[in-house]
Structure 1
Amino acid sequence: MEISAKDSVRPSQNLPGAARTAADGPVAGEPGTAGPASGPAPAGGTGRLTLGVSVRQVLKAPCLEGARVVAGGHGLDRVVQRLNVMEVPDILPWTKPHELLLTTGYPLRDSPQALADLVDGLEQAHVAALAVKFGRYIDEPPPKMLAAADRHGLPLIRLPDDVAFDDILNQVLPDILDRHASVLSRSEEVHRALVNLVLAGGSLAELTGELTALLGGTVMVTTPDGRVLARSDPPDGPPPPPGCFDASGRFLVERYKHGPRALEEPHERIVLVPILAGSLDHGRVVLITDGRQPDDSDVHLLERGAATGALVITKELAVAAVESKYQGDFLRDLLAGRAGGPERTVPHCASLGWDIDRPMVVVVAELESGPDGQLRDLRPAHERFATAWTMVVRERDSTAAVVGYSQEVVVVMGVRPGRPPGEMVQQMTAKVSGDGGGGRRAFSTGLSRVITDPSLLPEAYEQARRAAKVGRQMHGPGAVADFDSLGVFRLLSLVPDSAELTGFMRATLRELATRDDPETDDLRTTLQVLLDTNLNVAETARILHFHYNTLRYRIGKLERLLGPFTTDPHLRLNVEVALQVIRMRGL
């Protein structure tokens, strides 16, 4: 028969050492059971939210002093939330998860071999443990039963002959009910702490600290693509599992399941919960446990933390939107030359936390459009893009100006003596893109020359924009271009009419520009290498792996198509420029 719990809750004096931990929400008792139903929640761990008591703790009850675990000893951390007594052979339909099943063996006295099948069935029903009085109706547990219990980690307990089931019920049930009362109290405490954090204007760093205090382990808040916004680590916790982060420090959110589905991965110590506000995805709350296996109480508390995080992020976005609009308007005037002279702009920028009275460069980063030329999810994409750039730039220069506009992100930052600005920008773009991971949108980046006078900012801004545009034309989406490295492409980019460039290219290269077949491609390659080697026939033949006479034949064919470019320097210059026009995309 199944034992029903009483409604009242009494303090327990029977199970020493049973932790009074919290729960993940209000729990209601089920009719006909000795405690409420819940998902798996292994015991142990300071500050964790668990329901019930572990089998290990149950065995500390005075009435079980002589009990012995004869098999399944590695499952002693299973949680007991109710008790049940077996008095019929087909008990499985009446069992529920997290039960401690008590039996004298009487229902199976005539078929002790069925005990092994019983253990398999109890494991499938998620029963916590099986306690049997051997010696009266069944002399000893069959070897198959012991093997099944060890295989499943289902504790098989041999009860003393003199213990009565009502003693076990009277001593264990009050502690389980006491734990459930602690669950309700702790749940309210968690709710109140998170609400107070929001009302007090708490930050994401404070939220992760609070969750670490409740759960232990490392708690992070990340962007949807895994960029860490806040992180709290325990003082002496183990390191995260290998492979959680990429080289840029981005957490690989795409590798892990979210919410309760994370518990389907028993080998992982990681749980993720999305931070949602309506239809907007603001990121993830991530728990990396301190070595223990996560459970559903962790998921539930992280969901509460995610709701709190959504409020904090929404508040921060609202405040940042007002500040960003003011900063964006002023930087736009500064880059357009409408903000006044240095005597006005330098102190005004200082009031905004920007330092423009030093050697600096302008960086322009532009998101790439989709195949149809349109930017999908324009506002969320640009908000995440601007946030990523702000985080990366602030790590290197806390007084840089970073502003996101509808089509681009503009950065005005200082340069370090002895360090090329291009190298620094390459490292920043790699970190913003997460080394290419996470499926983020590609973007092109342009870098201006170094300037030392704030009045040159409009010119530097145009240089950076031109570098981003030409870099995309030369190398495709995702290019990083320095204005000083553009060479002749700087001049070509100044031609406002792309049709004029295309016409010049076709008039100069003739069939080499209009035909698109393997032979023509091969001739263009030969022409380019020949020009690159300054018409050195022997070196060109070596690079292209041609016989000398074969290359002489090809040169003759090229001159019949283009004219005597090997002897006419002006024609050779035109041919070289036309080949560079081919490299410029988007004409």
Structure 2
Amino acid sequence: MVNVAKDDGLVDAELPSAGAAVPSRDLVGGVSLEGLLTLPSLAGAELVHRPDQLVRNVLRASLLGAAPDPRHHLVCADAETVEAWESAGQDPLQQSALDGAAALVVAGGSVAQVERWRARASDVGLPLGLASHTVRAERIVTEVLGAVLDQQSGILERVEEAHQILVGVVLAGGGLEDLCQRLAGFLGGAAMVTSSDGRVLAQAGSEQALGAALALDCFDRTGRLITEHEPVGIRPSRGAEARRAMVRIAAGSLNHGLLAAFVEDRALTADDVHLLERAATVAALAITKEQAVSAVESKYRAEFLRDALAGRAGTPGEAVAHAAALGWDIDRRFVVVVAETDEDDAHSTRPPAEVQTLQERFARAWTQAMAVRDPRAPVMGFSQEVVALCAVPDGADTETIMRGVTEIVRVISGIGGGGRRTFSTGVSRPVESAADLPQAYDEALSAVSVGRQLHGDSAVTHFDGLGVFRLLALIPDSADLRRFVDEALGPLATDDSAENADLRRTLTILIDTNLNVAETARQLFFHYNTLRYRIVKLEKMLGPFTTDPQLRLKLALALKVHQMRGI
């Protein structure tokens, strides 16, 4: 039995046999002090330590004064050597503590010396091992180095065995879900594969482990891993964050996402992280394989959907049957949704390969988000856009439809997180047949284009909400529209002064209320007489719009054009 001296009583645990691979309890790896006490040379040794020092890890061992960098060393010395240091005016315990040694082990010593060293160890906060006088320090060093070597060898064997198993899973046809299942079994918790911006692609583990992981603060309310706040690789071994770890899944220069592990009852060690890194290479293999298969399938899907949107997919019945063969259902009421990134990829400063990767990632995000809600909904990414056919209930009004689409957009955007590019979305009117797809597609394209002009980037616009802007957007030359605005509104066309913008707002509300002076004054919080004065001023600038309906129409159109961006 090991005699352990400390304030909180004895630690009496079943320890591995000598030379066994002792699991690391700290992210630096190595063998714990507790494990080393089972070595033959340290059998019966007394360890003076604080409660939190027993799990200190040892990576190497050396004689006192022999190691230039004793951090995580077990420093060993005979009593004669320690006494010689003290006679020379040096304090070996304090020096070892300052150098970051894991512990100092002294073999031999008189009762008085041991008592003095024990008190000094408590003062400097360094664990002190007191071994038998029959043991030499050189033997302790040899056995400790052997134990560390055996432990590292065992870890390498475990990691290699796990790697071979994971590779076998993929080669046998398994995917990311199977990979996560195996990894969760190795680590005893939950494992996930996410995209680079945090959307979960695959997960495995017990229901309790997965629930506990998703409840952590590293996930937002949409279930996205907040990757921008999560460090990759080895973490500090203290706190709740030590119970999760992430590594990148990379193939060449491509970043495919993250492999994450979550446990509840311990800190993940450096060895666990190394296992994750090996598993990440296998995950990259699985993702590359899936992408190769998906690329072939996507080619046929994209060709069919492109033909259907152009009206070249045959009769409605033929289109429905072809879609069903591809796993899609278009024999129902649906809207066409078009999503375009706000960045113009045709004139981007990014390298073409990066643009392609970003567009593919954007398309995958839509595919994954739609798959959760409607696995049989057609979704496909083209060069500049993503097109989705979203089913809508019979009788659903525009407001209900837009709520559903906006929720999908919110999930894909990740509530602004992840550093993604912004995108705008257009929604068509509902259609009942595949024969109406070309018209619905044109409506969605108009909605996304005009919606961005009206509301700026990240707009979500329904075709019915365009109104007269549909007609204005058909005019190809924006310079003509700008001249029309300047001629109709005169000085009100610019914001050179705050008064111009204020008068233009007054004119807008006045026309929108059909020249209802009382209602306009109420909306603007003006006194009735103040508004009458403003109307007189506006007519002096623009003409008698209160009595001339043609002039009023001209001004109304000019105000609409002014509202459009890029004019």
User: What range describes the TM-score normalised by the shorter chain of this pair?
Assistant: 0.7 to 0.9
* 1:494 shift after superposition: 3.2
Shift of 1:448: 0.8
User: Structure 2: how far apart are the matches of 1:309 and 1:353?
Assistant: 26
Q: Which residue matches 1:201?
A: 173
Residue 359 of structure 2 corresponds to 382
- Residue 330 of structure 1 corresponds to 304
- Tell me the equivalent position of 2:320: 346
Match of 1:215 in 2: 187
Identity of aligned residues (%): 45
State the AA in 2 paired with 1:97.
H
Equivalent residues of 1:444, 1:479 under 8 A apart: yes
Q: Distance in 1 between matches of 2:74 and 2:556?
A: 83
Query: What residue number does 1:357 align with?
Result: 331
Q: Name the residue aligned to 1:185.
A: 157
Give, in whole Å, the separation in 2 of the partners of 1:19 and 1:564.
100
Residue 80 (str. 1) matches residue 54 (str. 2):
no
1:106 alignment partner in structure 2: 83
2:379 aligned residue: 402
Residue among 247, 264, 268 paired with 2:241: 268
Which stretch shows the higher mean deviation, 485-494 or 392-401?
Answer: 485-494
Which amino acid letter does the alignment assign opposite residue 296 of structure 1? A
Residues 268/370 of structure 1: CA separation in 2 closer, same or farther (3 Å cut): farther
Provide closer, same or farther for how the CA distance between residues 535 and 552 of structure 1 changes in structure 2, counting only shifts above 3 A.
same
Which aligned pairs between 1:273-352 and structure 2 lie closer than 5 A?
A: 273-352=247-326
Matched AA of 1:421: I
Note the 1:410-489 alignment, pairs <5 A. Answer: 410-417=387-394, 420-489=400-469
What one-letter code is carried by the residue in structure 2 that aligns with 1:99? L
User: Which residue type is aligned with residue 101 of structure 1?
Assistant: C
Q: Tell me the amino acid that sits aligned with residue 305 of structure 2.
A: L
Partners of 1:263 and 1:296 within 8 A in 2: no
Is the CA contact 1:130–1:157 (under 8 Å) kept in the aligned structure 2? yes
Greater Cα offset, 98-107 or 248-257: 98-107
Structure 1 letter corresponding to 2:508: Q
1:97 to 2:72 alignment: yes
Residue of structure 2 in register with 1:42 after alignment: 25
Q: 1:71 is matched with which residue: 19, 35, 49? A: 49
The 1:198–1:15 alpha-carbon spacing in structure 2 relative to 1, beyond 3 Å, is same
379-388 or 183-192, which deviates more: 183-192
Report the secondary structure of 1:259's partner residue: coil
TM-aligned CA deviation for residue 100 of structure 1: 5.7
Amino acid at match of 2:198: G
SS in 1 for 2:94: helix
Secondary structure at the counterpart of residue 292 of structure 1 = coil
In structure 1, runs of 5+ residues without a counterpart are 1-13, 24-40, 44-48
Partner SS state of residue 113, structure 2 = coil
Contact 1:356 1:454 in 2 (8 A): yes
Deviation of residue 211 (structure 1)?
A: 2.2
- Residue aligning to 1:586: 566
Whether contact under 8 Å (1:18, 1:53) holds in the other structure is: no
The residue identity in structure 1 corresponding to 2:267 is Q
Which one-letter code corresponds to 2:25 in the other structure?
A: P
Q: Aligned-pair distance for 1:99?
A: 2.8
Counterpart residue type for residue 110 of structure 1: S
Q: Does 1:227 align with 2:199?
A: yes
In the superposition, relative to structure 1, how do residues 302 and 98 fare at CA in structure 2: closer, same or farther (>3 Å)? farther
Q: Does 1:121 align with 2:98?
A: yes
Q: Would you say the 8 A contact 2:74–2:105 is kept in 1?
A: no
Paired residue type of 2:422:
A
Q: Structure 1 61/378 Cα, relative in aligned 2: closer, same or farther at 3 Å?
A: closer
| CA positional deviation for 1:537 | 3.1
Residues 1:372 and 1:413: Cα distance change in structure 2 (over 3 Å): closer
Change (3 A) 1:418 1:220: farther
2:9 corresponds in structure 1 to none
Could you tell me whether the CA contact under 8 Å between 2:220 and 2:226 is conserved in 1? Answer: yes
Give the AA of the match of 2:47: V
What is the CA–CA distance in structure 2 between the aligned matches of 1:143 and 1:506, rounded to whole Å?
91
* Displacement of 1:520: 1.3
Task: Report the RMSD for the aligned CA atoms in angstroms.
Answer: 3.2
Query: Residues 19 and 408 from structure 1, CA distance in 2 versus in 1: closer, same or farther, beyond 3 angstroms?
Result: farther
How has the CA–CA distance of structure 1 residues 249 and 193 changed in structure 2, closer, same or farther, with 3 Å as cutoff? same
Structure 1 range deviating more: 333-342 or 168-177: 168-177
Shift in alpha-carbon separation, 1:283–1:528, aligned structure 2, 3 A: same
- Asked if 1:505 is matched to 2:485, the reply is yes
Equivalent pair of 1:361/1:415 in contact (CA under 8 Å): yes
Q: CA shift at 1:510, angstroms?
A: 2.4
Q: Distance in 1 between matches of 2:50 and 2:296?
A: 61
Q: Residue 326 of structure 1: SS of its match in structure 2? A: helix
Deviation at 1:64, TM superposition (A): 4.7
How far 1:440 sits from its partner (Å)? 0.6
Question: Does the CA-based 8 Å contact 1:363-1:448 persist in structure 2?
Answer: yes
Matches within 5 A, 1:134-173: 135=111, 137-141=113-117, 143=119, 145-149=121-125, 154-159=126-131
Q: Once structures 1 and 2 are overlaid, which stretch shifts more, 128-137 or 320-329?
A: 128-137
Name the aligned partner's letter for residue 362 of structure 1. V
Structure 2 CA distance, aligned partners of 1:18 and 1:526?
89
- Provide the C-alpha distance between the structure 1 equivalents of 2:381 and 2:548, rounded to a whole number of angstroms: 50
Assess, with a 3 A threshold, how the Cα gap between structure 1 residues 560 and 169 changes in structure 2: closer, same or farther.
closer
Distance 1:169 1:22 in 2: 17
Secondary structure at 1:93 match in 2: coil
Q: For the residues of structure 1 that align with 2:259 and 2:246, how far apart are their CA atoms?
A: 6
Structure 1 match to 2:218: 244
Equivalent-residue separation in structure 1 for 2:410 and 2:275 (angstroms) = 34
SS at match of 2:484: helix
**Counterpart-to-counterpart distance in 1, 2:89 and 2:207:** 52
Task: Say which of 544, 563, 569 aligns to 2:549.
Answer: 569
Q: Distance in 2 between matches of 1:218 and 1:79?
A: 26
Question: Aligned pair in 2 of structure 1 residues 311, 115: CA closer, same or farther (>3 Å)?
Answer: same
Q: 1:468 to 1:100 in 2, by over 3 A?
A: same
Q: Does 1:255 align with 2:238?
A: no
**Which structure 2 residue ranges, 5 or more long, are not aligned?**
1-13
After superposition, give the CA deviation of every residue in 1:84-109 in whole Å (9 maximum; x if it has no partner). Answer: 343xxx45527463436354343444
Encode CA deviations 1:232-276: one digit per residue, 9 max, x unaligned: 23555454674312232221111133335x459976324332222
Q: Distance between the aligned counterparts of 1:322 and 1:276, measured in 2?
A: 22
Q: How far apart in 1 are the matches of 2:231 and 2:554? A: 58
Q: 1:435 to 1:19 in 2, by over 3 A?
A: farther
**What displacement does 1:447 show?**
0.6
Distance 2:149 2:93 in 1: 32
AA paired with 1:140? R
Counterpart AA for 1:330: F
Relative to structure 1, is the Cα distance of residues 167 and 275 closer, same or farther in structure 2, using a 3 angstrom cutoff? Answer: closer
Farther-moved stretch of structure 1 (62-71 vs 342-351): 62-71
CA distance in 2, matches of 1:202, 1:244: 28
